[in-house]
């Protein structure tokens, strides 16, 4: 958690997001599913994975003062990515996704629309998703909000994480 904050403040997150992650994707044969997710065949899991070029549109929005616009942008990207899971050509009948309440609410909307079928497999735990949130925020904004209580409450808020099984057929 603190490592990623330090990397972000030193500008080293570029190394992680633009060099190490693409290499990791290539070695483990990740299959990109929309902007927000990739399929990890080794564990038959869908994971949050945003390419460097796609992060620019999220980083351009102020995550504190334009909170609703930021949430809507993230929500739309997640919704489009989840809808593309069935079209991704995954050879399995089901895939696992470990995610928070925010993504679950979007999954529920897609379930009501008949786009996505899923079932809760287990409760995972409650944890902070610092690196996941900071990935969507520019380094300049982290410096800008370094002393903002509202920013740190959002970054350090504990999230309920659960594992879901998405049906593909």
Q: What is the pLDDT of residues 32-77, one digit of tens each?
A: 999 999 999 999 999 988 888 888 888 899 988 998 999 999 999 9
pLDDT of residue 1: 59
Residues of the chain with pLDDT under 50: none
Cα 33 to Cα 31: distance, rounded to the nearest angstrom: 6
In the chain, % of residues over pLDDT 70: 99
pLDDT of residue 9: 82
Single pTM value for the model: 0.82
Q: Report the number of distinct structural domains present in the chain.
A: 1
Host domain of residue 124 = 1-167
pLDDT of residue 12: 78
């Amino acid at each position: 958690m603190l490592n990623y904050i330090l990397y972000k403040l030193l500008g080293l997150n570029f190394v992680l997001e633009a060099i190490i992650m693409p290499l990791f994707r290539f070695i483990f044969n990740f299959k990109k599913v929309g902007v927000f997710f990739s399929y990890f065949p080794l564990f038959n899991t869908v994971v949050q994975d945003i390419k460097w070029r796609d992060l620019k549109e999220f980083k351009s929005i102020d995550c504190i003062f334009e909170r609703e616009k930021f949430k809507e942008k993230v929500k739309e990207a997640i919704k489009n990515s989840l809808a593309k899971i069935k079209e991704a050509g995954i050879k399995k009948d089901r895939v696992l996704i470990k995610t928070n309440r925010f993504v679950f609410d979007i999954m529920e909307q897609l379930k009501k629309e008949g786009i996505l079928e899923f079932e809760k497999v287990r409760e995972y735990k409650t944890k902070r998703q610092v690196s996941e949130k900071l990935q969507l925020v520019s380094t300049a904004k982290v410096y800008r909000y370094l002393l903002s209580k509202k920013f740190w409450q959002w970054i350090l808020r504990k999230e309920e994480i659960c594992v879901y099984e998405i049906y593909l057929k």
